[in-house]
Amino acid sequence: MSGITVYPASILRRPAFPVEPPELKQEIPELIDRMLDLMYQADGVGLAGPQAGVAKQIFVADIGEGPVVLLNPSVVESSGEEETAEEGCLSLPEIRVHVARPKWIRVRGMTPEGEEVTYNAEGLLARVFQHEMDHLKGILIIDRASMAEKVLLKSKLKALERR
C-alpha cells in the first residue's frame, strides 16, 4: 500500500475529477478501503482522493462518530458566521495553520452506492468536510494562512520541498 501523498506533489495542486458511475463497482470500493486505512494509520480525521494519489472527487472522514465517505461533494449552503481554528494536514507534516471557515455547512454528494446524500455539518465535522473539499479543488491549508503565518512557515515548506 502506498502512503499519503505529501507536499509538494503536483496532484495536491490540481482539481480532482468527478467519480463516474462505472467506477463505483470497479476501483472505488478498493480505494475507499485504502483511504480509510491510510487515514486511521496516520491518526487523521479526514483524507481526500488526491492525498491517496488519486485525482478523484472522494473523501473519507471520521471525527469519532464512524466513517463518512462522500463522492463528488459540494457545499450547497453555509452559515455567514465563520470560526477560526488551527488545522493540520496529513500532506503537510508538522505544519499547523489558523483557518477561518463557516461554522455550519450543508453538503451534497454521492454515497459509494451511487445514492445522493445531504449532510448538515457543524463544528469539527463541518471543518473537516471543508478541509477535504479544498483538497479536491487543489487548495491546501497553507493557501488559507495569513501573510504572517506564511512568512513563519517558509522554512518548513522549503524543508518539505527538499524531501
Q: What is the CATH number of the domain that holds 51?
A: 3.90.45.10
Is residue 3 a part of any domain in this protein?
A: no
For residue 40, the enclosing domain spans: 10-161
Is 141 a member of any domain? Answer: yes
| Residue numbers annotated as active site | 132
CA distance 89 to 93: 7
**pLDDT per residue as tens, the chain (163 positions):** 469 999 999 999 999 999 998 888 889 999 999 999 999 999 999 999 999 999 999 999 999 999 999 999 999 999 989 999 999 999 999 999 999 999 999 999 999 999 999 999 999 999 999 999 999 999 999 999 999 999 999 999 999 999 8
- pTM for this one? 0.96
Secondary structure class of 108 (helix, strand, coil): strand
Tell me, yes or no, whether 4 lies in a domain: no
Number of folded domains that form the chain: 1
In DSSP notation, 77-98 reads: EE-S-EEEEEEEETTEEEEEEE
Helices (H) and strands (E) in the chain, counts: 4, 7
Query: C-alpha cell of 142?
Result: 497553507
Please report whether residue 121 resides in a domain.
yes
| Dist. CA 58–CA 49, nearest whole Å | 5
Residue 1 lies in a domain: no
In a domain? residue 2: no
